[in-house]
Structure 1
Amino acid sequence: MIVLIWVAVLIAVLALYLRQVYSSFSRKGIKHLKPVPLLGNMAGILIRSRHFAEDISLQYNSFPKERFVGSYMFILESILLRDIDLIKKIGVKDFEHFLDHRPIFSSSDTILSRILFALEGQEWKDMRSSLSPAFTSSKMRMMVPFMVEVGDRMIGSIQKKIKNSESGYIDIECKDLTTRYTNDVIASCAFGLKVDSHNDVDNEFYAMGNVAATFNFRQTLKSIFSGTMPQLAKALKVEIFTGESKKFFRTIILDTIANREKNNIIRPDMIHLLMEAKKGKLTHEDNKSSDEAAGFATVEESAVGQKKINRVWSDDDLVAQAVMFFIAGFETVSSGLSFLLYELALNPDIQERLAQEIKETDTKNSGKLHFNTIQHMPYMDMVISESLRMWPPGLSLDRICTKDYNLGKPNENAEKDVIIPKGTPVFVPVLAIHRDPQYFPNPDKFDPERFSDTNKHKFQASAYMPFGIGPRNCIGSRFALSEMKVMAYQILLHFEVSPCEKTTIPAKLDRKTFNLKLEGGHWLRFRPRN
């Protein structure tokens, strides 16, 4: 009887506590969806009834008249931004108030806690300044030949399979295809290794990369836990990388560097650039190469990244940045490429127009594909830009409020401003904004003409953010765009891509993963182009 009384008391205390917690937004005049006790607004993701992209879109679309809305991450308050001007203000003008990302890697993780994305404050500024010269257009120019070499092996593998088929075509799971392509590109450009994942399907580099870069449900939960309870995650030593994968990448990177230093080997790849950065020899170019043709989606480097910094790099720093390059390139670029192929297959008229531009460009350049080739193809850039609008791999951006901040009024009828305290996470729902008809009319239509010279100035540029906003935008946008253009060029030069019986139509996201992926896979049909 006494036990039952104490249980009842504890339940009552918990209920009163949760009632107090979950009434906070209402007291402040902030709209929000009804939370589930203890789970907050995370329930849909945790029980897999909604994909993360669907969840943030639901919160965004439920309150069309609000400048920002509230969201409970378990019992932690966070803010979902809706107003484009407020997003721009927070991301650019008042950047110092939102300098850091929400922690998603435990500080006990010696590699992931040291990647550029995870660093905070002045330490992040110094690392960004050290790394940004490695990602200019002139540096990317040197890496395109490695991408082409990887693409040639991919094309050869597909052609061989089609030749051996009785039907004259093959059906390919394109997420697997693009993941193997990006894996081999990163192996070449970042690690100086020659890997052929299309023919050597079970090679160790691909296997380790797939484990490290693909966030399964368990890894997602660890990430959410580290973000909401960082101190406890540190105490429990929560790590997303396995010890085996960390040892694998550390050994490859440090052994490669040691071999190059011993034998004076210079290869114009990311390992070389990181070695130069560690020595303080990587500097910004005085005569900045023109980025006019780099692509509409390309983001500019801010003054933060252009400062000259002399800092001492540890081995962990160097390994971490190489791993960051791998994770970012492996999953996000492969996701962007798989959805690009999906949209081209479903829109054959657009595919044919792009294929014609590729064919004419290839003839003009006598079959040679280099950096200048892909940077001067206007329709290619329009198609890539539209694909990144519809399917941005970075579904949501996040920042942590580092100083108390006045968000202003949540809507035009509100009587008082909302001031969020230091430590409050804020989110920018990129995919939801990209699919908002007030910014992009008929948003669910794949329409590259939005980005033509005639039309691209008609929409609000700050509503388009596939590579983020402000000084903390994606440092590798030029690399990612080059990679996407090279692969699209090579595939459409040789193949027609079309839906098959296993193609997911209409698109439906796989709720089993945090990553952007179609339920049932990205199956498409490849046949030789006449």
Structure 2
Amino acid sequence: MALTEALLLIAAGLGAIYLWFQRNHSYWQRKGLPYIPPTPIIGNTKAVFKLENSFGLHLSEIYNDPRMKNEAVVGMYSINKPGLVIRDPELVKSILIKDFNRFHNRYGQCDPHGDPLASNNLFFVRNNAWKEMRTKLTPVFTSGKIKQMYSLMLEIADDLELHLSKYPNKFITEIKEVCAQFTTDTIASTAFGIRAHSLHNPDAEFRYHGRKLFTFTLSRAKDFFVAFFVPKLVGLFRIKFFAPEFSHFMRSTISHVIEDRERTGTVRNDLIDVFVGLRKEAAQEPNKPHYARNKDFLVAQAGLFFTAGFETSSSTMSFTLYEMAKHPELQQRLRDEIVGALVEEGGKLSYERINSLEYLSMVVDEVLRLYPVLPFLDREYKSVKGEPDWSLKPYYDFSLENGTPVFIPIYGLQRDPKYWPNPNQFDPERFAPENRKSIDTRIYQPFGSGPHNCIGSRIGLLQTKLGLVHFLKNHYVRTCADTIKEMKFDPKGFVLQSLTGIHLETVNDCLYDEKVKQ
């Protein structure tokens, strides 16, 4: 009898859970908004659970659903949580710019107790703390400061040339790894004042930890999925964006560098100088609360700028070289521009000259259209006291409820044939000066837009361009038997990453030296 009662209780409990999910999964139907029918229990995440696609790219599949082609938004469910995929460009602009005060938080979160380096960094921090933090860190990324860092970046560019010169005249390599070694060394030098030597030793500490962070396993896929799409469960599942080993490495490294900088008084115009300034600021007002008294606050920013700084630029570099290998005539045009500028300037491009290379900018911008490193943006709606809730009028008679997540499918928008003729074709001419003015910034935003845009976009673009200049100066790339014919992305990743790596043949071709002799 007791067993029968227990089974009945279990059945009743499971039935209640099922009905609860079904109730939640009828939300958009009850509200009268267009939606993609969910799978019981898991909502609109079936493709993610089956590892058919990453959640970021799955959002673009929802965006591209032919049933929704005339809709401004699409209702969907992250497990049981109702959310909206935004399709209309004007709503994108409202969320990111016009009504930013209602959408200033990301929906994704990290566990403040189990993962303080992630929860305290600029990417995840919320509410007023984000605004204060952004204000403190912005001075590092002004054009003036980046120009001062440029000489440090040139040193690493020389290391890249030296690294490539050690290979045979023709060699096949996984190009993303070479690019990541370069950007790891650049970020370590410009942000922390450290020579990481990844180009000389691929197992150097900074490269080891960076590689591990972006090696997407099932466990890492689960961590990112929960953090971005079921954030209320980060504590329950003990989700960690930064692994304990990486956190320990960053704490010991950054603490040592800050202490050394304070002791010596060295000034490098980098991120560490800002940290030292914040610590001085805190010391001058000992009775006032200050972020810099929390060492994890400083280390958290360092961890973010390292991981985001090397991964975004190395991905953009490697996708660029992949497209150049597939389009040798465009590669030749790019190399001619690069080498011509190098000859005119004696082998080293000034900060102003590298930023003025027209075709290089066109190529990189087109790569960022096809391959936005973060393929989606997430925001959480927060009502404003005393004001009506944000309305979807004139599209729908509906106002968002507090806490509703909204997702902007950057990858889908940037490949939508409605806005881009032949959207999957690599065509830098889209960004030629005469065409650039017609680009809709609501549609094209690989770095986001509005107050929450990528704070490091300038330095990211600069190191990407510098790496390409010094790679293509005396080498070109071409496809080989190991090169993937069509790009396939890793379904376990939350950033855009090739599933199988990008293998290219690199050929030593001293075009610069030949031009100098002429």
Structure 2 length-normalised TM:
0.90
| Cα root mean square deviation, aligned | 2.0
In the TM superposition, what are the counterparts of 1:47-446 in structure 2 within 5 Å?
47-62=50-65, 63-108=68-113, 109-162=115-168, 168-234=169-235, 237-279=238-280, 312-314=291-293, 315-403=295-383, 405-409=389-393, 411=395, 416-446=396-426
Q: 1:41: Cα distance to partner?
A: 0.9
Q: 1:476: Cα distance to partner?
A: 0.4
The separation in 2 between residues aligned to 1:110 and 1:245, in whole angstroms, is 12
SS of corresponding position for 1:418? coil
The separation in 1 between residues aligned to 2:389 and 2:475, in whole angstroms, is 53
Whether the 8 Å contact between 2:221 and 2:492 is mirrored in structure 1 is no
Whether the 8 Å contact between 1:217 and 1:514 is mirrored in structure 2 is no
Q: 1:230: Cα distance to partner?
A: 4.2
* Corresponding position: 1:17 with 2:20: yes
Whether the 8 Å contact between 1:504 and 1:523 is mirrored in structure 2 is yes
* Alignment correspondent of 1:460: 440
* Alignment correspondent of 2:516: none
Whether the 8 Å contact between 1:410 and 1:418 is mirrored in structure 2 is no
Cα gap change, 1:256 to 1:40, in 2 (>3 Å): same
SS of corresponding position for 1:483? helix
The separation in 2 between residues aligned to 1:65 and 1:98, in whole angstroms, is 24
User: Of 505, 522, 530, which residue of structure 1 is paired with 2:485?
Assistant: 505
Cα gap change, 1:386 to 1:47, in 2 (>3 Å): same
Cα gap change, 1:240 to 1:126, in 2 (>3 Å): same
The separation in 2 between residues aligned to 1:251 and 1:409, in whole angstroms, is 52
User: Of 34, 38, 42, which residue of structure 2 is paired with 1:35?
Assistant: 38
The separation in 2 between residues aligned to 1:429 and 1:71, in whole angstroms, is 13
SS of corresponding position for 1:206? helix
Cα gap change, 1:250 to 1:64, in 2 (>3 Å): same
The amino acid that maps onto 1:36 is T
SS of corresponding position for 2:406? strand
Deviations 1:434-470 (A, max 9, x none): 0011211111111111111111122323211011011
The separation in 2 between residues aligned to 1:217 and 1:515, in whole angstroms, is 15
The separation in 1 between residues aligned to 2:151 and 2:419, in whole angstroms, is 37
The separation in 2 between residues aligned to 1:211 and 1:187, in whole angstroms, is 17
Q: 1:234: Cα distance to partner?
A: 3.0
Q: 1:373: Cα distance to partner?
A: 2.1
Cα gap change, 1:227 to 1:490, in 2 (>3 Å): closer
Q: 1:382: Cα distance to partner?
A: 0.9
Q: Which moved more, 1:514-523 or 1:437-446?
A: 514-523
The amino acid that maps onto 2:292 is W
User: Of 450, 466, 491, which residue of structure 2 is paired with 1:470?
Assistant: 450
Cα gap change, 1:236 to 1:503, in 2 (>3 Å): closer
Whether the 8 Å contact between 2:370 and 2:415 is mirrored in structure 1 is yes
Q: 1:216: Cα distance to partner?
A: 3.8
Q: 1:85: Cα distance to partner?
A: 0.5
The separation in 1 between residues aligned to 2:240 and 2:492, in whole angstroms, is 20
Q: 1:236: Cα distance to partner?
A: 5.6
Q: 1:341: Cα distance to partner?
A: 1.0
SS of corresponding position for 1:406? coil
The separation in 2 between residues aligned to 1:5 and 1:231, in whole angstroms, is 30
The amino acid that maps onto 1:258 is E
The separation in 1 between residues aligned to 2:42 and 2:412, in whole angstroms, is 23
The separation in 1 between residues aligned to 2:442 and 2:343, in whole angstroms, is 37
SS of corresponding position for 2:504? strand
Q: 1:219: Cα distance to partner?
A: 2.4
The separation in 2 between residues aligned to 1:340 and 1:419, in whole angstroms, is 42
Q: 1:28: Cα distance to partner?
A: 1.2
* Alignment correspondent of 2:285: none
The amino acid that maps onto 1:91 is L
SS of corresponding position for 1:408? coil
Cα gap change, 1:202 to 1:374, in 2 (>3 Å): same
**Count of aligned pairs between the two proteins:** 493
SS of corresponding position for 1:473? coil
SS of corresponding position for 1:444? coil
Cα gap change, 1:49 to 1:231, in 2 (>3 Å): closer
Q: 1:14: Cα distance to partner?
A: 3.0
The separation in 1 between residues aligned to 2:278 and 2:11, in whole angstroms, is 61
Q: 1:151: Cα distance to partner?
A: 2.2
Query: Which ranges of structure 1 fall in alignment gaps of 5 or more residues?
Result: 163-167, 282-309
Cα gap change, 1:235 to 1:16, in 2 (>3 Å): closer
Whether the 8 Å contact between 2:489 and 2:498 is mirrored in structure 1 is yes
The amino acid that maps onto 2:26 is S
Whether the 8 Å contact between 2:341 and 2:349 is mirrored in structure 1 is no
The separation in 2 between residues aligned to 1:142 and 1:449, in whole angstroms, is 32
SS of corresponding position for 1:405? coil
Whether the 8 Å contact between 2:170 and 2:505 is mirrored in structure 1 is yes
Q: Which moved more, 1:103-112 or 1:351-360?
A: 103-112
Cα gap change, 1:420 to 1:345, in 2 (>3 Å): same
Whether the 8 Å contact between 2:34 and 2:75 is mirrored in structure 1 is yes
